[in-house]
């Protein structure tokens, strides 16, 4: 009987109780995240293919993909895609948040409608954009022709750079609400007394934004950009639905190329190496997020 009171006494300890409470979540994360990650790293160092377990080859797969111009192009576009999309989402998201932070008729409805691009299924959004960018029935081309800005329809997804630009625009459109809602929450947490004091001191609207708004939004900016960059760098559904990495591999990213090599091509080891490659970027972004949260 003495053992049970001792166990209960140990559970009363904050440290022991904390470990007990996080144990189920830790087991779930290890099963759903850690195991696939370790398996992917192991596969990237083997010659495994569909139907063949393969053998250990060390870093041979990494040397192979580094010599592959398609992989280098996919890595370059992945970085370009992420950087351009994050700049667009940050700028437009902040502007939209500043507008929606004002009180006007229907502002509550506007805040709700703002979330539609983000909550809509990615595949459905991509299919809608496919119709808008269709070379024959594009609504955008029709509008530009009516405005006398162009003479014929534009093949947005049939050429390399128009396709890249189109994907970046669609990603910005889809991720814009994520930044806007985050910035809106940050703006509503800023005391109005700061702006009143600045106005008494003769500060202009731009000076108040530069000296008050932006510095106070900097911590949430770090978190928003870091998380969004991870999502963008590992984007698959949007690109695969719209271009499947084409035309001529010009819109390949890490995820689409890994899928083609591993699943379609059957080269599991090489596909795993491609999938593991962006982990370095994601680890850096995760460290930034953790440090930012701890500092705040």
- Quote the pTM value: 0.86
| One pLDDT digit (tens) per residue for the chain, 296 residues | 455 666 656 666 677 777 778 888 888 888 888 888 888 889 999 999 888 888 999 899 999 999 999 999 999 999 999 999 999 999 999 999 999 988 888 888 888 888 888 888 889 899 999 999 988 888 888 888 888 888 888 889 989 999 999 999 999 999 999 999 999 999 998 888 888 888 888 888 888 888 999 989 988 888 898 889 989 998 999 999 999 998 989 999 999 999 999 988 899 999 999 999 888 888 877 777 777 666 65
pLDDT at 174: 93
pLDDT value at residue 5: 65
Could you tell me if 216 and 185 are in contact, meaning their C-beta atoms sit under 8 angstroms apart?
A: no
pLDDT of residue 294: 64
As given in the structure block, the two tokens for residue 273 are: 């190496």
Domains annotated on the chain, with CATH: 71-251+279-295 (1.10.3720.10)
């Amino acid at each position: 009987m003495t053992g049970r009171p001792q166990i209960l006494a140990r559970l009363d300890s904050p440290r022991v109780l904390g470990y007990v409470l996080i144990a189920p979540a830790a087991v779930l994360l290890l099963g759903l995240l850690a195991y696939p990650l370790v398996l992917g790293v192991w596969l990237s160092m083997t010659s495994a293919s569909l139907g063949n377990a393969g053998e250990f080859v060390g870093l041979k797969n990494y040397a192979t993909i580094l010599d592959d111009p398609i992989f280098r192009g996919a890595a370059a576009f992945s970085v370009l895609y992420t950087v351009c999309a994050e700049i667009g989402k940050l700028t437009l998201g902040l502007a939209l948040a500043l507008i929606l932070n004002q009180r006007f008729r229907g502002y509550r409805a506007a805040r709700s409608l703002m979330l539609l691009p983000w909550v809509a299924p990615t595949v459905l959004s991509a299919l809608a954009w496919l119709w808008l960018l269709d070379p024959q029935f594009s609504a955008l081309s029709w509008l530009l022709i009516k405005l006398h800005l162009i003479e014929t329809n534009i093949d947005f997804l049939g050429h390399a750079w128009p396709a890249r630009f189109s994907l970046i625009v669609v990603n910005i459109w889809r991720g814009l609400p994520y930044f806007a809602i985050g910035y809106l929450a940050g703006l509503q947490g800023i005391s109005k007394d700061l702006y009143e004091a600045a106005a008494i001191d003769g500060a202009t609207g731009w000076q108040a934004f530069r000296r008050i708004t932006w510095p106070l939004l900097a911590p949430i900016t770090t978190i928003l950009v870091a998380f969004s960059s991870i999502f963008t760098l590992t984007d698959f559904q949007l690109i695969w639905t719209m271009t499947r990495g084409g035309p001529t591999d010009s819109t390949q990213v890490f995820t689409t190329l890994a899928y083609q090599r591993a699943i379609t091509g059957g080269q599991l080891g090489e596909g795993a190496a491609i999938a593991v490659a962006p982990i370095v970027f994601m680890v850096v972004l995760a460290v930034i997020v953790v440090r930012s949260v701890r500092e705040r």
